[in-house]
């Protein structure tokens, strides 16, 4: 048999399909070809499960062993790995939970997975220096409307329609989680890493969410103020916007700024 | 050639970062798992850079898939190159196996048939990798649980021939030889005798577990007595080779692994002369001949 078809059969055997692979493997009195191959098939599934258990330990404790195991099997069966690192194997789990029944009927599951994933991403996201208030002091007044900001690469905004964050917090503290609640109103959270390399999180009120989302998508300060005008009076809007900027600076969320072609990082 | 000899090292594991940074234990070098540091930033790279300041390092990967029939993964090799630049390791290793086909990753080190066609295929790929990253690599022998009917030679003939033709070096895992010898009924000493000493650059020592009569290479136990004996036998044949203990699961406190490593050093001191065991970084393994 050609090496290529041998490798394909071996891989599809690991994925649980029946192949003619047994015929090309020696059986010995000590162990049959089938049992020898099953060492690999079991090892394959076990390794992927270990990766999922590591990445989603809160979701695991929330669902319990049996339910989580069923979830892992479903994910492994439908998501062969295309990554060279197990760190990224679980990347589509939150999406599967959001889209596939019965999980999609319990929105807190996908949201819990998203929260765990956000912390993992924040943990090893790219490094960037933090902006300080001095960076802003030197911006000429006429340049402010064109001001654009770059967020820390670790910064992520999470939208929750359930109390998934409360569930996550309880599980992190080793406490029994509150009962799941689904809401019509969305709740926003931000997760990011500070220079001490620790990940932080806090809720975002709607106005601040609007501002942070706008700036993280590359809007200018003028465009940001435009959006806040739906929420505040004309006099209050710039004061509110500057207030948000100040707290983002103090909380080490910003990595760079840009105005009239000048940038500082 | 003068073989570089780094002394006695350990695999760098996250459980031990804190201990290593705080106490700077007297370990000659660390082996890192390359894929763990192929991330954009944060703690993994910060700890790596911090520990690198105090210790020589070598890099060990699992995703090169040198035996695969998929095209070489240049995206992976680019990440590997970037990490090599960051770490400046004494050398870089991966396994004599395949992990991926049809771009699906098994995340396992899967065995190859031992025959001439496969040797040619792998020699070409090793040479392509060595050209791409600009340095010679080490390849490690596996533990395996299957034998293919299409194998035409022993594993050691296969390994040795690939090293000879490709110009790569060998990371000889003594435990893997022991495990495969048990699972495929050969004498592990024949294996050690069949390898050209000049190609041997590093040893792995590790533990395993039994699964009926089969031995599974689990790296979750201390090194067993038979593997220590085989280690001494290998030293007698190859001379001083940089040695490390590989523990991936059930990871004990650092001191316990350090003690195991001290045993390796004691065996080496008993077997070889002080002159043989003088640490030297050898010629730089850069630039493929
Ligand atoms: Fe090894």
Tens-digit pLDDT profile for residues A131-153: 999 999 989 999 999 999 999 99
pLDDT for A82 equals 96
* Prediction ipTM score: 0.93
| Nearest-Cα residue of chain B relative to residue A124 | B42
Query: What is the distance in A from the centroid of ligand 1 to the CA of A13?
Result: 25
> Per-residue pLDDT averaged across A63-74, rounded?
98
Tens-digit pLDDT profile for residues B186-198: 999 999 999 999 9
| Nearest-Cα residue of chain B relative to residue A85 | B35
**Selected residues 23-82 of chain B with any CB under 8 Å from a CB in chain A:** 35-36, 38-46, 63, 68-69, 73, 76, 79
CB contact under 8 A, B40 and A36: no
pLDDT for B284 equals 45
Torsion of CA B123, B100, B174, B37, to 10 degrees: 100
Question: Which of helix, strand or coil describes residue B33?
Answer: strand
Nearest by Cα to B29 from B11, B43, B2: B11
Strands B92-95 and B138-140: parallel
Instruction: Determine contact, residues B143/B174, Cβ cutoff 8 Å.
Output: no
The residue that leads in pLDDT, A155 or B209, is: A155
Measured between CB atoms, which of A31, A44, A154 is closest to B214? A31
Nearest by Cα to A88 from A59, A57, A124, A64: A124
CATH code for the part of the protein at B8-277: 3.20.20.150
- A81, pLDDT greater than 90: yes
CA dist A123 and B41 (Å) reads: 8
Q: Would you call B112 an interface residue with chain A, using a CB distance cutoff of 8 Å?
A: yes
Query: What is the distance in A from the centroid of ligand 1 to the CA of B173?
Result: 5
| Nearest-Cα residue of chain B relative to residue A82 | B104
Query: What is the distance in A from the centroid of ligand 1 to the CA of B61?
Result: 10
| Nearest-Cα residue of chain B relative to residue A41 | B106
CA dist A134 and A131 (Å) reads: 8
| Nearest-Cα residue of chain A relative to residue B115 | A3
Residues in Cβ contact with B144 at an 8 Å cutoff, skipping those fewer than 6 apart: B111, B155, B180, B183, B184
Give me A242's structure tokens: 């500057």
What are the Cα distances from residue A92, in Å, to A199, A205, B35?
22, 28, 20
Query: What is the distance in A from the centroid of ligand 1 to the CA of A232?
Result: 63
pLDDT for B219 equals 83
Give me B78's structure tokens: 């680019």
pLDDT for B286 equals 44
User: pTM of the prediction?
Assistant: 0.94
Residues in Cβ contact with B281 at an 8 Å cutoff, skipping those fewer than 6 apart: B4, B6, B56, B90
Tens-digit pLDDT profile for residues A71-80: 999 999 999 9
CB contact under 8 A, B68 and A7: yes
Neighbours of A40 (CB within 10 A): 21
Q: Would you call A43 an interface residue with chain B, using a CB distance cutoff of 8 Å?
A: yes
pLDDT for B121 equals 98
Query: What is the distance in A from the centroid of ligand 1 to the CA of B159?
Result: 15
Measured between CB atoms, which of A7, A24, A39 is closest to B214? A39
Q: What is the pLDDT along chain B (289 residues), one digit of tens a residue?
A: 578 999 999 999 999 999 999 999 999 999 999 999 999 999 999 999 999 999 999 999 999 999 999 999 999 999 999 999 999 999 999 999 999 999 999 999 999 999 999 999 999 999 999 999 999 999 999 999 999 999 999 999 999 999 999 999 999 999 999 999 999 999 999 999 999 999 999 999 998 888 888 888 888 889 999 999 999 999 999 999 999 999 988 899 999 999 999 999 999 999 999 999 998 876 444 443 3
Tens-digit pLDDT profile for residues A214-236: 999 999 999 999 999 999 999 99
Query: What is the distance in A from the centroid of ligand 1 to the CA of B175?
Result: 8
- From chain A, the residues in CB contact with B217 under 8 A are none
> Per-residue pLDDT averaged across A241-249, rounded?
96
Measured between CB atoms, which of B35, B104, B146 is closest to A37? B146
Query: What is the distance in A from the centroid of ligand 1 to the CA of B245?
Result: 9
| Sign, CA torsion A148/A154/A160/A166 | negative
Q: Would you call A81 an interface residue with chain B, using a CB distance cutoff of 8 Å?
A: yes
% of chain A with per-residue pLDDT over 70? 98
Strands B92-95 and B169-173: unpaired
Tell me which of B33, B104, B116 to substitute to probe the interface with A (most A C-beta atoms closer than 10 Å): B104
Domain coordinates of chain B in residue numbers? Answer: 8-277
Q: Would you call B287 an interface residue with chain A, using a CB distance cutoff of 8 Å?
A: no
Task: For each of the domains in chain A, give its residue range(s) and CATH number, in order of start.
Answer: 1-100 (no CATH), 106-265 (3.90.930.50)
| Nearest-Cα residue of chain A relative to residue B119 | A3
Nearest by Cα to A254 from A207, A205, A210, A190: A190
The mean pLDDT value of chain A amounts to: 95
């Amino acid at each position: 048999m050609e090496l290529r078809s041998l490798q394909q059969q071996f891989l599809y055997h690991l994925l649980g399909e029946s192949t003619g692979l047994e015929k090309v493997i020696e059986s010995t009195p000590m162990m049959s070809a089938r049992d020898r191959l099953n060492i690999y098939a079991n090892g394959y599934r076990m390794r992927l499960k270990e990766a999922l258990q590591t990445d989603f330990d809160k979701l695991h404790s929330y669902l319990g062993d049996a339910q989580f195991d069923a979830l892992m099997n479903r994910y492994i069966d439908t998501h062969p790995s295309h990554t060279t690192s197990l760190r990224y194997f679980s990347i589509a789990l939150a999406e599967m939970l959001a889209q596939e029944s019965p999980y999609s009927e319990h929105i807190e599951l996908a949201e819990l997975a998203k929260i765990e994933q956000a912390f993992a991403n924040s943990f090893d996201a790219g490094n960037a220096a933090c902006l300080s208030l001095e960076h802003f002091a030197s911006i000429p007044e006429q340049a402010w409307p064109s001001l654009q900001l770059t967020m820390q690469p670790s910064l992520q905004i999470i939208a929750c329609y359930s109390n998934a964050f409360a569930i996550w917090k309880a599980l992190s503290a080793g406490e029994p989680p509150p009962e799941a609640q689904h809401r019509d109103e969305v709740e926003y959270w931000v997760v990011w890493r500070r220079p001490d390399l620790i990940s932080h999180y806090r809720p975002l009120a709607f106005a601040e969410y609007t501002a942070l989302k706008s700036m993280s998508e590359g809007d200018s300060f003028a465009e940001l103020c435009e959006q806040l005008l739906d929420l505040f009076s004309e006099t209050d809007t710039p004061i509110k916007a500057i207030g948000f900027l100040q707290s983002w600076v103090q909380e080490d969320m910003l990595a760079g700024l840009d105005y009239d072609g000048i940038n500082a990082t | 050639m003068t073989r570089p000899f780094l002394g006695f090292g350990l695999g760098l594991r996250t459980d031990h970062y804190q201990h290593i940074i705080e106490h700077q234990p007297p370990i000659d070098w660390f082996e890192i798992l390359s894929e763990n540091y192929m991330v954009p930033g944060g703690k993994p790279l910060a700890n790596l850079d911090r520990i690198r300041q105090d210790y020589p390092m070598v890099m060990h990967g699992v995703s090169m898939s040198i035996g695969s029939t998929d095209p070489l993964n240049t995206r992976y090799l680019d990440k590997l190159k970037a990490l090599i630049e960051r770490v400046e390791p004494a050398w870089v290793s991966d396994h004599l196996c395949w992990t991926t086909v049809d771009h699906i990753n098994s995340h396992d080190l899967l065995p190859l048939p031992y025959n001439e066609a496969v040797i040619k295929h792998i020699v070409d790929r090793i040479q392509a990798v060595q050209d791409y990253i600009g340095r010679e690599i080490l390849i490690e022998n596996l533990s395996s649980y299957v034998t293919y009917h299409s194998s035409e030679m022993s594993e050691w003939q296969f390994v040795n021939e690939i090293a000879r033709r490709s110009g790569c070096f060998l990371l000889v895992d003594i435990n893997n030889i022991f495990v495969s010898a048990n699972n495929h009924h050969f004498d592990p000493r024949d294996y050690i005798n069949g390898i050209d000493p000049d190609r041997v650059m590093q040893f792995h020592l590790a533990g395993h577990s039994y699964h009926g009569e089969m031995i599974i290479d689990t790296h979750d136990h201390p090194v067993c007595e038979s593997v220590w004996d085989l280690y001494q036998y290998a030293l007698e044949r190859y001379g001083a080779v940089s040695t490390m203990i590989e523990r991936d699961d059930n990871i004990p406190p650092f001191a316990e692994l350090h003690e195991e490593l001290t045993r390796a050093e004691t065996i080496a001191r008993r077997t070889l002369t002080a002159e043989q065991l003088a640490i030297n970084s050898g010629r730089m393994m850069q630039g493929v001949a």
